[in-house]
Amino acid sequence: MPEPRVGATATVVSGEDDETLVLIAGGRRDFNDLTTNLSNALLYDPATDTVFWSNDDAMFHSRSEHSAIKMATGDVLVVGGITGLGNISDTAEYEIFDPDDQSFTKGSNLTIPPLGFGAVNLGSDGVLLCGGGSPVRDGSDELLYLSPVDTCNKIGLSGKVDSLFSATLPTPLQSFAMARLDEGALISGGIAEDSYPGWPAPSQRKAWVFAYNSWTETDSLTWRR
């Protein structure tokens, strides 16, 4: 890579000639310095071990600790994270990368927070994003803790937020696992309590299946995680 980084994302995409490339987006130069976020993105070619394309200011926001989800269209949804000079905003915003013309399109603000949310590709139904830790601050705007939320958003293949989607999680949750199923998605584990910096919050064992815009509790995990 042009420079070392942490907190970036790596997503497999297809190039114009159907070659396999890897999109490396964002990250930061220093693990301990949240002000070193990058707006850089590059396409790495593993077959030749070379950088196919790179742009230092490719993204609309410099960001780290974000998520990147490949959509059914082949585009990549880049969402959330710590942006700018270490900012943890109240809500996440997103942008979409088109590997054919190596460009990002700016999206809108979501109603989920930018950290601790889950995301899953639902194929022709777009991308489902749920939960996360909403930042709670003191009077001087210092971060106190992250509080779990039950909010969900769905982004369609057009890249627009589905304004008619109204499903929420069965309970406020952050830092959980989320995976696609044949008829929806599975969420498991996570943290259902406030999470304080430097103090790990207890996880839980419950799991739910999402189908037909509703959640159904399923068998619990053996261990909290």
pLDDT tens track for 102-156 = 999 999 999 999 999 999 999 999 999 999 999 999 988 888 999 999 999 999 9
Q: Which residue has the higher pLDDT, 19 or 197?
A: 19
Which architecture does CATH list for 111-225?
Answer: 6 Propeller (2.120)
Mean pLDDT of 164-169: 94
CATH code: domain 1-109 is 2.120.10.80
Burial of 200 per CB tally in 10 Å (0-12, 13-18, 19+): exposed
pLDDT one-digit tens code per residue, 29-40: 999 998 899 999
**Whether the Cβ atoms of residue 128 and residue 210 lie closer than 8 Å to each other:** yes
Q: Do domains 1-109 and 111-225 have the same CATH topology?
A: yes
Please tell me the distance from the alpha carbon of residue 181 to that of residue 211, in angstroms, as a whole number. 9
Query: C-alpha dihedral over 203, 121, 51, 80, to 10 degrees?
Result: -50
Please tell me the distance from the alpha carbon of residue 148 to that of residue 153, in angstroms, as a whole number. 15
Please tell me the distance from the alpha carbon of residue 14 to that of residue 17, in angstroms, as a whole number. 8
Domain ranges within the chain, ordered by starting residue: 1-109, 111-225
